[in-house]
Amino acid sequence: MEKFELHILGCGSALPTTRHFPTSQIVNVRDKLFMIDCGEGAQLQFRKSRLKFSRLNHIFISHLHGDHCFGLLGLISTLNLLGRTAELHIHSPKGLETLFAPMLSYFNHQMTYKLIFHEFETKEPTVIYEDRSMTVTTIPLRHRMPCCGFLFAEKARPNHIIRDMIDFYQVPVYELNRIKNGADYVTPEGEVISNTLLTSPSDPSRKYAYCSDTIFLPSIIEQIKGVDLLFHEATFANEDAPRAKETYHTTAEQAAQIARDAAVKKLLIGHFSARYEDETILLQEASAIFPDTQLAKETLCVSI
């Protein structure tokens, strides 16, 4: 199968600790790198994960709280120092370009590459990126400011040609693309050869959903139904549920309820509050409801 990986660069929340970096992730799809959020230290963790800056062309910012975007200016500056020439696209809710304009003007007034900001609305799911192999769609979340998660979805791939059958029926090369896409083959004599004899199904399309930061929000379940991997914030343990509600965050138990009800294949929890020196309690509370749960940690790589 083609590469589809998630790299955790940071999985802490707003208050710095010696255990975790603020939120940042890299999604690697066929060696194209997509960054989700860019907290402080993201570029350092990028290096530690042995990823290549040259393959990063799109950054998705979920919302404009500092622990999700304070690392962005440093990363932009580093890419400038490296002499980057390729465009860098930054997708975010409204306001990021205005916020960064004076800092970019002061620190990076001679840019070696073009920086392009794309604003998106946060109230309805919207496709904000698309190429030949995948789409990125926003997932409306509810936080203390406009906020979205992101759904990375592979496009359906053509069927696999069964070479022996193609040779047996002497199918011309110019017919192969049609057959890959589901067409039957009609011989010169008029015999119809079923597509099922000539091809085998392609691998199922894979999906990754990122949901941070948000209050417990069952309305996202339909959009993330059946994803292969769900990252959901689990800032608090159940004993701190009132604090979670007050700050528009989620408990580990609530994250697991979302995963269970959405019938996802695997749950990864993160965005841990600094109050927990050991996140085992969060893993235990989530696993009791959704057994296939894993704690995020820096430099973790999960194959989807």
* Marked catalytic residue, from 31, 37, 67, 278: 67
**47 phi, psi to nearest 5 deg:** -65, -45
Q: How many CA atoms lie within 13 A of 167 on its CB side?
A: 3
Secondary structure (3-state) at 3 = coil
Cα distance between residue 22 and residue 20, in whole Å: 7
CA atoms within 13 A on the CB side of 52: 5
Cβ atoms 113, 75 nearer than 8 A: no
Structure-token pair, residue 211: 């949901």
Phi-psi region of 51 (alpha: psi -120 to 50; beta: other; left: phi over 0): beta
> Active-site residue 67, yes or no?
yes
Take residue 177 and report the two structure tokens written for it: 């693309």
| Local structure of 160: helix, strand or coil | strand
Indicate which residues carry an active-site annotation: 67
